[in-house]
Amino acid sequence: MKQIGDKKIFSVTEINAIAKETLELLTFWVEGEIAECEQISSYNFYKIILKDEKTILPSVVSGEILKGKQDTLRGKRVLVYGNLTLWEPRGQYQFRIYQLEESGEGIFQKELEELIKKLMSQGLFDEKYKKQIPLYPIKVCIVTSYKSAAWNDFKSHTVDEFSLIQLYTADVRVQGKQSIPNLLKILPYADNKGFDVIVITRGGGSIEDLAAFNNEKVARCIFKMKTPTIVAIGHEHNQSLAEWVADKRASTPTGAAYLITQGYYQYIEKLQGYKRYYNNKFDQLIYSNIQNLSYLHNQLESIKIKYQYLPDMLEKLRESIIRHDKRLIFESDLKLISLMNQIKKEIIGQIGGKNNILYTLNKSLTLLSPKNTLMRGYSITTNVHGQIVRSIKAIVAGDTIGVKLTDGKIISKVVAKE
């Protein structure tokens, strides 16, 4: 320090030294969430970033204090004790940690583990209570925040893929103080609306963000529901109570959508198998008939060759007859006319028979075509499972049916039967 007149003038280094000395006199307990935990080079020290909703606090801690937990700290809320210090070369301050312990989240985790044991002992997680998810659900209710990422992911993999699925949204808060009462109100309401399945979902988050899905009342409410339920929370680890009691769980909204639609995908795959099978059968039938037509053509050609010398033979016979007397000529003429008529009938009969066979085969090929059947005004009616409806007894009023026409398909609902 130097003094010019009445002014005390400090250098930058001196100011930083004074600031460091002053800061290190103060110690604090600080609560926050660990955003980062990274080892400093090869030293046994770790750089930690503490954060809250608004700011961050760079910190440093010895590996001995972490006790090997450094890989599990990210995202956890902690209480740390220490003091502020200053790194003089850069004029940057950080918090030096001397003591670290889990905050409310650690306590909550222990309480959650006790609650899981309690509900497990009461049988709420038993497989015998799990309801089957319908193979072809139509009325699907999703309980989540409307227009959230979870909602969009689920919709894009259900309704956008299969228009038959009717998606109903129960818009609720999925975190915060109002999330638990919202869920306790909307779940029983949705359970009584006749849905085929109810999906309860949200994106991932900290254990505090997921508090509503670890609430005992919410878990018991889901367990009591009559409608099959799927709970999908966007995380892989630390399964929530809601997932334990649900009939099925998925790690993501997309995973829940797959559970909903897997029956439809299997059905489509089965239809494609049938399509390949019948296409092969039609190809074989067409090939067989082409072979038959070729055989008949060769037969007709053989008949043509066989009788092409007939006029010459008849002419020679006529000349031979003329050389005899008139009586023989008259008798021979009669025989000749009779023979010609007989031969003519035989030729006409054989050609007509072959033509009839050709006509019948051609007509059969035409009739076999499903497209021509539809073009004659007929239609093919299927039920919701894609099975062909052959009798009015196979449907009831209110059923959804598909009617295939020559240029498309109509999805109808049965109003009445006569």
CATH number of the domain within which 213 lies: 3.40.50.10550
Q: Which residue has the higher pLDDT, 335 or 154?
A: 154
Q: Are residues 8 and 46 in the same domain?
A: yes
Quick: pLDDT tens for 192-245. Answer: 999 999 999 988 776 667 788 889 999 999 999 999 999 998 665 557 889 999
pLDDT of 139 reads 96
The answer to whether residue 222 is domain-embedded is yes
Give yes or no for residue 181 having a pLDDT over 90.
yes
The answer to whether residue 283 is domain-embedded is no
Global pTM value: 0.49
Q: How confident is the model at residue 325 (pLDDT cuts 50, 70, 90)?
A: low
**What Å distances lie between residue 114 and 106, 107, 121, 343, 399, CA to CA?**
13, 11, 11, 105, 48
**Quick one: tokens of 250?**
């998925």
pLDDT of 89 reads 86
The residues pairing with 194 across neighbouring beta strands, listed in sequence order, are: none
The answer to whether residue 330 is domain-embedded is no
Token pair 């809320």 is found at 77
Instruction: Report the chain's mean pLDDT, rounded to a whole number.
Output: 85
Residue 61: HSE in the Cβ half-sphere, 13 Å Cα cutoff:
28
Q: Are residues 170 and 251 in the same domain?
A: yes
**What Å distances lie between residue 12 and 2, 88, 168, 174, CA to CA?**
13, 9, 65, 51
Give yes or no for residue 349 having a pLDDT over 90.
no
The answer to whether residue 363 is domain-embedded is no
pLDDT of 326 reads 64
The answer to whether residue 333 is domain-embedded is no
Q: Which residue has the higher pLDDT, 274 or 352?
A: 274
Q: Are residues 162 and 260 in the same domain?
A: yes
Q: Based on the structure, what is the number of domains in the chain? A: 3
Q: 3-state SS of the chain: helix, strand, coil percent to 5?
A: 45, 25, 30
The answer to whether residue 311 is domain-embedded is no
Describe the crossing of helices 326-368 and 310-322 by its angle, rounded to 10 degrees: 170
Share of the chain above pLDDT 70, in %: 91
DSSP 6: T
Contact assessment for residue 98 and residue 82, using Cβ atoms and an 8 Å cutoff? yes
Q: How confident is the model at residue 191 (pLDDT cuts 50, 70, 90)?
A: very high
Contact assessment for residue 25 and residue 82, using Cβ atoms and an 8 Å cutoff? no
Q: In this structure, is the dihedral angle defined by the CA atoms of residues 71, 74, 75 and 78, taken in order, positive or negative? A: positive
Least confident of 12-16, 124-128, 253-257, 318-322: 318-322
The side-by-side arrangement of strands in the sheet containing 400-405 is 380-382, 400-405, 408-413
How remote is the C-alpha of 98 from its chain's centroid? 51
Q: Which residue has the higher pLDDT, 40 or 261?
A: 261
The residues pairing with 327 across neighbouring beta strands, listed in sequence order, are: none
pLDDT of 63 reads 86
Q: Are residues 236 and 117 in the same domain?
A: yes
Token pair 């110690």 is found at 27
Identify the helix (H) or strand (E) that includes residue 156. helix 149-156
Q: Are residues 91 and 112 in the same domain?
A: no
Closest CA to 260 of 373, 162, 402: 162
Domain ranges, residue 389: 370-418
**What is the Cα–Cα distance from 28 to 34, expressed in whole angstroms?**
17
Q: Are residues 259 and 175 in the same domain?
A: yes
Q: Are residues 143 and 257 in the same domain?
A: yes
Q: Are residues 247 and 196 in the same domain?
A: yes
Residue 65's CATH number:
2.40.50.140
Closest CA to 191 of 150, 158, 144, 224: 224
The answer to whether residue 279 is domain-embedded is no
Q: Are residues 177 and 54 in the same domain?
A: no
Q: Is 350 exposed, middle or buried (0-12, 13-18, 19+ CB in 10 A)?
A: middle
Q: Are residues 115 and 237 in the same domain?
A: yes
pLDDT of 64 reads 86
Q: How confident is the model at residue 338 (pLDDT cuts 50, 70, 90)?
A: confident
Contact assessment for residue 63 and residue 48, using Cβ atoms and an 8 Å cutoff? no
The answer to whether residue 326 is domain-embedded is no
Domain termination residue (choose one: 102, 136, 152) = 102
Domain termination residue (choose one: 224, 249, 264) = 264
Domain termination residue (choose one: 50, 70, 102) = 102
Q: Are residues 129 and 232 in the same domain?
A: yes
Q: Which residue has the higher pLDDT, 278 or 351?
A: 278
Q: Are residues 124 and 238 in the same domain?
A: yes
CA dihedral 310, 316, 317, 322 (to 10 degrees): 150
